[in-house]
Structure 1
Amino acid sequence: MKNVIYSLLILSAFASSSQSLRELYQEGLKAYDEKNYELFTEKMFTIDTMRPNYPAVVYNLAGGYALTGQSSKALKTLEKYILMDATQDFSEDADFTSLLELERFTALKKKQSELTETIELKRTYELSILSSHPESITYSEKQKSFYIGGVRDGSIWEMKEGREPKLWAESPKNSWSVMGLQVSADEKTLWACTSSMNNYQDYNQSEEGFASVLKYDLKNGKLLETYALPGGHNFGDLITDKSGNIYVSDGTANKLYWISDKKGELEELADLSNDIFNLQGLTLDDTEKNLYLSDYIEGIYRFNLKSKDLEKLKIKGDDILIKGIDGLYFTDNSLIGLHNGTNPNRVIKYKLSEDRNAIIGKEVLAQGGVLGEPTQGVWIDGSLHFIMNSPWGAYDQDGNFNPESKSVNIGVIE
């Protein structure tokens, strides 16, 4: 069983969670060592109920089912697992010996092979400034410029085709890692959201959990407004509508914030913490009445801006597990999700039902290969241009940043 290998990873992941989760996991490992597989399975099931879709737990749960003679549950759980991590050679794990001769296990291995095949995009290109650690990207048609936000330096860079990148805005006071960028519909304003993270080169522990929204004059780069919140926040993305309202996702408090065009103040729009584990990307549908939200752990939700109702999208298609989505984008009654919480990472287009409350199919647009860590994108003339290789893996255990490349890869979905 690979749970011993995974144990340090999962205990780290649970560090910000409840003490009971860590205790349950340790109790599960102890039960496994003592060959009390019924108790081991029970502990893993309990954790998966409390904190769903963590790969190590799902893998261990599958092993527990196999060890206790529950082959059908073991296979079903492994099917779920490979949608999250298709790289684990579980056929070599002795805990699954009882499954090896089953026809369904053979089919599962074939599916696993398909999930690790490389699917390349037809069009990609490169921009420099990877040393800034780009995470967010937007575009101005009027200025004919890309704007890219840096996690490492907290700066915003401007790039025009055929020119060297230009530092457009340095990190001002009450600004940290740039996590989201958006040019307003009238092309007068550039909006940015920032969060205090230890990847930020000027990180100050006393500002842990601080976050802000910045409003810039797009024409001259002048900072017009700063909206900051202390402690307990992580602004991960923002979006503007045609009326000039700004919506911001908070992945720590799991709340939606907004700045209305009329009031011009940062306000809490909705507290979603009872339903959502880790709020990430957000996108408006074509009616601008609904926000679609990605929960990095559980999937995609729809939030009605008028009624404030939140509903999780139903899954009606095959082989669909919506986990690990960062950027999320609406198009033609579908959603494009940038997955950097799967192995390999993927870009997937999810087809919505007619009433848009369910996912009824999927198309994998990119998988593995040069697709590093996809994060956020921007629509340009009907094509989604997105960051393919945000270098989160370039930090060592001491926080030093050593990216292998100096360029950021941009993928294009036509």
Structure 2
Amino acid sequence: MIRHLLASAACVLSVSAAPAFAQDDEAAFSPQATATALAGEARRALGAGDAESARRAMEAALALKPAHPSYLLGLAQIGLTSGDQDLVFTALERYAAGGMAFDLSRLGEADAAMREAQPDRYAALDAALSRNASPVGQAERAARVDLGGTLIEGVAVDIETDRIFLSDVTGRAIHLVEPFDRESASVFADREDGLLSVFGMTVDSVNRLLWATTGVLPQTGLAEGEEGGTAIVALDLVTGDLYRRFEIEGADRFADVVARDGYVYISDSGANRVYRLSSLSDGFELLSDDPRFAGLQGIALSHGALYAADYALGLWRISLDDGSASLVTAGDESLIGIDGLGHTREGRLIAVRNGMNPNQVFAIDLSEDGRSVAGTETLLRGHGDFGEPTLISVNDGRVWLVANSPWPLYPEDGSGPTETPDPLTVLEIDLD
């Protein structure tokens, strides 16, 4: 849910930033702040004609945020400006290896020069970038519902009844789609149940509850005099009646939630913390508040740990014992821009990436110790129903995802939609 990354090299190289490492010595090291500062150093160095210093600064930023799309395009821009054709090739080859698409004609005159100077290398790069833009995988429509122009973010599925729940940001509701009618929805819970904007949801099959995070964004639409805040609610999975509501002091905006074996975990994308509930008779406890977290989104359980997607940095592995966090070592595929995250019974992570071109759903296989990526597989890309995919529900060998959330139609100033959204589509992917 919290939105988009910089889209071009020009954006990266125009970032205003404090000089690299100009941080309070007593402050915790921040990969996000340091990488941003290094990108600013690259801009300044390139503007001063020092391409080598610019290259080193951008490579240092990429070491902190591997395969970050804007930083790789920034590296290509350094090569273009300095006339270093090999650097342009290398940066774009890494960009392609990260799973991203790019039209080489955007390079202008450099496009033809690269084609002429190194035709074989150019052809291989062009083919790789084109492959990344091509459709992959199959999915079926699980539901297509016209909700009157509201902003849908998340999905949860009760596999025992085959009912689909949709979380509504602007309508401040949870909608229910029944298995006998996949083209209409009823209100399962709404603001009368204490809901603000609704984001992540999960079905708790042990306690037969629907957990949902709720909070405030500019798009929420508070009534005059109404207070904001954030909470997580537990609703009866059959009736929608409010069972419990939890608020946590110091929390900012809960994002996603996952439940397993009676335990419930939530990510706070505003305060960048993770909380855990061990028993319905207790309250949530702080599991991890690592100061390096930059933009926590989807969470999932695998390899005896909690994994949290950080929109800006990649994927965190969080110990369930002491809450310690470490960044998962990525392979070639970029882990930047992941929004939705889920897990299979076998421990495979399923991710929705909407922070770069193209949007896609892909599987992440972890190493035996769960600390690095052993491999990835693109499951769905370029589907005809894709707009902006967001959150997912994974269960019983299947993945359900919101395929076309209309976030681009809702400006940050709280206005919108700028045009009427298409009917909301939920896609289903069979993993077997």
TM-score by length of 1: 0.83
Question: Pick from 101, 104, 108: which aligns with 1:86?
Answer: 101
Question: Pick from 179, 184, 206: which aligns with 2:204?
Answer: 184
| Cα contact 2:9–2:71 (8 A) shared by 1 | no
Question: 1:268 is aligned with what amino acid?
Answer: L
Q: Which residue of 2 aligns with 1:400?
A: 416
Is the alpha carbon distance of 1:8 and 1:126 closer, same or farther for their aligned partners in structure 2, counting shifts above 3 Å? Answer: farther
Q: Which residue of 1 aligns with 2:287?
A: 269
1:282 aligns with 2:299: yes
Q: Which residue of 1 aligns with 2:158?
A: 140
1:321 aligns with 2:309: no
Aligned pair count?
402
| Cα contact 2:311–2:338 (8 A) shared by 1 | yes
Q: What secondary structure is seen at the aligned counterpart in 2 of 1:273?
A: coil
Query: What RMSD over aligned residues (CA atoms) do the two structures have, in Å?
Result: 3.5
1:292 aligns with 2:307: yes
Q: What secondary structure is seen at the aligned counterpart in 2 of 1:153?
A: coil
CA distance in 2, matches of 1:348, 1:85: 13
| Cα contact 1:211–1:230 (8 A) shared by 2 | no
1:233 aligns with 2:252: yes
1:339 aligns with 2:356: no
1:372 positional shift = 2.2
1:79 positional shift = 2.5
Q: Which residue of 2 aligns with 1:6?
A: 11
- Give the number of the structure with larger relative contact order, counting CA–CA contacts within 8 Å between residues 6 or more apart: 2
Question: 2:350 is aligned with what amino acid?
Answer: I
| Cα contact 1:118–1:368 (8 A) shared by 2 | yes
1:170 aligns with 2:183: no
Q: What secondary structure is seen at the aligned counterpart in 1 of 2:390?
A: coil
| Cα contact 1:67–1:95 (8 A) shared by 2 | no
CA distance in 1, matches of 2:423, 2:136: 24
| Cα contact 1:281–1:327 (8 A) shared by 2 | yes
Is the alpha carbon distance of 1:48 and 1:204 closer, same or farther for their aligned partners in structure 2, counting shifts above 3 Å? Answer: farther
Question: Pick from 137, 153, 167: which aligns with 1:149?
Answer: 167
Q: What secondary structure is seen at the aligned counterpart in 1 of 2:176?
A: strand
1:105 positional shift = 3.5
Question: 1:260 is aligned with what amino acid?
Answer: S
Question: 1:177 is aligned with what amino acid?
Answer: S
1:66 positional shift = 4.6
Question: 1:378 is aligned with what amino acid?
Answer: S
Is the alpha carbon distance of 1:111 and 1:19 closer, same or farther for their aligned partners in structure 2, counting shifts above 3 Å? Answer: closer
Gaps of 5+ in 2: 1-6, 18-30
Is the alpha carbon distance of 1:68 and 1:238 closer, same or farther for their aligned partners in structure 2, counting shifts above 3 Å? Answer: same
1:295 positional shift = 1.8
Q: Identify which range, 193-202 or 126-135, moves more after superposition.
A: 126-135
Q: What secondary structure is seen at the aligned counterpart in 2 of 1:127?
A: strand
1:51 positional shift = 6.3
Is the alpha carbon distance of 1:265 and 1:92 closer, same or farther for their aligned partners in structure 2, counting shifts above 3 Å? Answer: same
CA distance in 2, matches of 1:4, 1:365: 28
| Cα contact 1:333–1:356 (8 A) shared by 2 | no
1:348 positional shift = 0.9
Q: What secondary structure is seen at the aligned counterpart in 2 of 1:277?
A: coil
Q: Which residue of 2 aligns with 1:202?
A: 222
Is the alpha carbon distance of 1:74 and 1:8 closer, same or farther for their aligned partners in structure 2, counting shifts above 3 Å? Answer: closer
| Cα contact 1:284–1:290 (8 A) shared by 2 | yes
Q: What secondary structure is seen at the aligned counterpart in 1 of 2:188?
A: strand
Is the alpha carbon distance of 1:125 and 1:262 closer, same or farther for their aligned partners in structure 2, counting shifts above 3 Å? Answer: closer
Q: What secondary structure is seen at the aligned counterpart in 2 of 1:110?
A: helix
CA distance in 2, matches of 1:112, 1:338: 20
Question: Pick from 126, 129, 139: which aligns with 2:143?
Answer: 126
